[in-house]
Chains A and B, each alone.
Chain A
Amino acid sequence: MKRGFAILVSLCALAIVAYFTMSEWAIRHETLTFYDASRDNRPVAVDIAVRWDKEMQAKRRHDQAAGGGPQPRQTLSNSPSTLSWRTSCMRGFMAISIQHDLPTDARW
């Protein structure tokens, strides 16, 4: 009984560690700001999330790895650790989220 319980707890702990490894620690987050010269140097902030191993794999192979998935972000805060980000990254996608609005933009 005790042994079974210990095995169950160990498996649960292992699953939790594996989940966090895949969804949090194995994902590299980066925020870049590009400036569009054709639009008065408009800043376009881009959040990028990609799995380390997939990135390494893509660099090593020098071929086209998983497709990029820009997620047009309209008004969300600047945190890339949301659900669809994690899900996409865990599946090996490079997730790109673009901040479209600037404080100076006209309201619709």
Chain B
Amino acid sequence: MHDGDQSRRTLCRRLPQIQRGIANIRFAVSEMKNVQTQRDYDHLTMVGHSMGGDISMYFAKMYPDQIKKLVTLDNLRVPFMTDGKFKILSFRSKDPVFKTDPGVLPEEEVREEGGITVVHTGFQHNDMRDSGPIKPRRRSRTCWANSSSTRARSNQSRPNATCTDRSGPGRALRASQELTSRRSKSRSLRTREGPALLSSIDRPLIPTHIRLAAILRALMSGEPTNPKSAGDVTSAQKAGSGKAGSLPETKPSASEDIAAFVAKARAMSPNTAGAKGRLVFALDATMSRQPTWEYGLCAAGGHVSRGGSAGQS
């Protein structure tokens, strides 16, 4: 399947949630006009990470006259607006799992015309969360969820699940998140709870919040923070991240490898001959972001998706 079709399909699946977010924003702004009256609600500056960034971008597409500036942190699905009605600053991750859909980021020359500044960082997608990277918790509390709503949904799908339940796909999710956190820890100098997104852009000795403030100030004063060039940013990232190293490249398994694995699994099965064994795949939330997984869900008619991903971004 073509990449564009896949990304369109993914966007279509998430469109109801994006539209719900836009309705929430419009409703909240209309209510806020009654609470805080002396404010300029017609020229909003929006900041969003991941799905929040996609919601922001979609909102900006629908109501461009209400937007003054837009800051997105690694939004993956909704293409950027390029008509230059407002300034856009976007920080991008370098994540082997969370990849930007094709067509989301405009070409270099289009960015310049559209007032879009893109800063490529060396950090992973979840390092850019507003609350900072996901930190591993103690072993005694193994129920891992990004939010109260996620936790509630997780418990809904498994009514008997408790926070000390160590079985099931949640374990794989936790392992993945711990790995992500460990990687990000080795890469960046972080403040207590802030996102580490800017640590590799320039000198790592400057606290993250000061750099963020500097970029926000530049953005809000009408001066976009332009990196000198893609090469400069990349070299600065290398200098900032020091000896952190790069992530290992993954390559898809060949069908022979898969057949060999299945044969080996069969040989190891304790079941007697003729009995039906079970092959269990544990998928964590990040795996569910893979296009093949999305495609599989769509091909299966979508009814599997409710039990699919356990986490959100």
> Using a CB–CB distance below 8 Å, which chain A residues touch chain B?
32, 34, 36, 38-39, 44, 46, 48, 50, 55, 58-59, 61-79, 81-88, 90-91, 93-94, 96, 98, 100-103, 105-108
Contacts and interface: CB of A to CB of B under 8 A. Distances in A.
B147 A101 contact: yes
A95 to B, nearest CB: 9
7 contacts: A74-B51, A76-B147, A77-B148, A83-B194, A87-B209, A96-B29, A98-B28
Given A69-B44, A69-B47, A70-B44, A83 B212 contact: yes
Nearest to A102: B149
B47 to A, nearest CB: 5
B313 interface: yes
Contact of A82 (B130, B216, B217): B130
A78 B23 contact: no
B119 to A, nearest CB: 15
B64 to A, nearest CB: 15
Nearest to B73: A84
Interface residues of B, number: 64
In the A-B complex, list the 3 residue pairs whose CB atoms are closest, starting with the nearest. A83-B194, A103-B152, A75-B147
Nearest to B39: A68
B14 A72 contact: no
Interface of B: 13-14, 16-17, 20-21, 23-25, 27-29, 31-32, 35-36, 38-41, 43-53, 55-56, 59, 68, 129-132, 146-150, 152-153, 156, 191, 193-195, 208-209, 212-213, 216-217, 220, 305-306, 308-309, 312-313
A65 B129 contact: no
B216 A72 contact: no
B58 to A, nearest CB: 10
Given A65-B38, A71-B46, A108-B17, 4 more contacts: A38-B27, A70-B29, A72-B25, A87-B213
Contacts of A48: 32, 35-36
B25 A70 contact: yes
Contacts of A74: 21, 48-52, 55, 147, 312-313
A88 to B, nearest CB: 7
A82 B16 CA distance: 28
A67 B28 contact: no
Contacts of A87: 209, 212-213, 216
Contact of B16 (A77, A84, A85, A106): A106
Contacts of B152: 103
Contacts of A75: 51, 146-147, 149-150, 312-313
Contact of B23 (A39, A66, A69): A39
B132 to A, nearest CB: 8
Contacts of B45: 67-69, 93
A82 to B, nearest CB: 5
Given A70-B29, A74-B51, A87-B212, A82 B194 contact: yes
A48 B40 CA distance: 15
B36 A46 contact: no
Contact of A105 (B39, B59, B149, B194): B149
A76 B150 CA distance: 10
B40 A68 contact: yes
B209 A86 contact: yes
A84 B32 contact: no
Nearest to A97: B130
A61 B51 contact: no
A34 B193 contact: no
A38 B20 CA distance: 12
Given A72-B55, A106-B16, A94 B36 contact: yes
Given A82-B193, A98-B28, A90 B40 contact: no
B140 to A, nearest CB: 20
A81 B16 CA distance: 29
